[in-house]
Amino acid sequence: MNTILFILLGLGIGIFFLFKFLRNVQPTSNEVAEDLKELKAKLKDLKGGFVAWTDEISTNEIDQILTKDNARSGNGIFLSSAGDPIFAYAYKNYIGPGKNAVIYILSLEQEYIFRITNKGTEVTINGQKQGLIRENGIFYNLKNDEVAKIERLGASNTNKLYIGDEEVAKIALPDAIAHKALNVTKIDLSPLEEKTVRMMTVYELVSALEEAEG
């Protein structure tokens, strides 16, 4: 009898860890939603503690905490050059082939969710879906119209952001020599352009960290 109980117990433990492993390889939409709740919980105490958006974002994030089990996760804060918190992030990077991650970002006025898969990155801002960032750096809205594109310059770790054919900003990634992460090169951005610049900036900065640690 004891032998049978030990066998059943061993099978139960094995099945538990198998399901846990599979969740971190190919999570269902419900499992991703649960993971997103956990990411939000990590940042909830920071809500309301940010300064208004400024392009004076430092390339150095602080308080980054990394954990590693069957998936790698992390969270941290990006500051202004003056040392004030501008936005915080938390992410979970699932193991397995291809791209599979979820990023949650919180600022004073915006809540961003980036769901990264092989088809691209689905963007949600304040609960509203915005479109998809393809792997080639082009952002398409829900009508599949091209809105913006990132020209990734690997050698300098500074990417250029275009809206239409016009360069509107440069984004220096965390490994770049530059101390300032965002340099807006267009004068008088429209509200839609400003929203796009902010969204693409936080995505490029945090996804660079997620890819480096994933």
Percentage of the chain lying above the pLDDT 90 cut:
52
**Residue 116: inside a domain, yes or no?**
yes
Reported confidence tier of residue 82, pLDDT bands at 50, 70, 90: confident
b/e code 45-61 from CB counts within 10 Å (16+ = b):
ebeeebbebebbbbbeb
The better pLDDT of the pair 161, 97 is held by 161
Q: Dihedrals φ, ψ of 82, to 5°?
A: -85, -5
Quickly tell me which residue has 């879906």 as its tokens. 129
The domain of 166 spans 29-213
| Average pLDDT, integer, range 6-26 | 46
Is pLDDT above 70 for 68? Answer: no
Q: In this model, does residue 123 exceed pLDDT 90?
A: yes
Look at residues 97, 77, 96 and name the one whose alpha carbon lies nearest to residue 87. 77
- pLDDT above 70 for 6: no
Residue 205 φ then ψ, to 5°: -65, -50
Q: Answer whether residue 128 is part of any domain.
A: yes
- Mean pLDDT for the stretch of residues 107-115: 96
| Residue 5 included in any domain | no
d(CA 166, CA 168): 6
* Count: domains in the chain: 1
Q: What pLDDT was estimated at residue 208?
A: 86
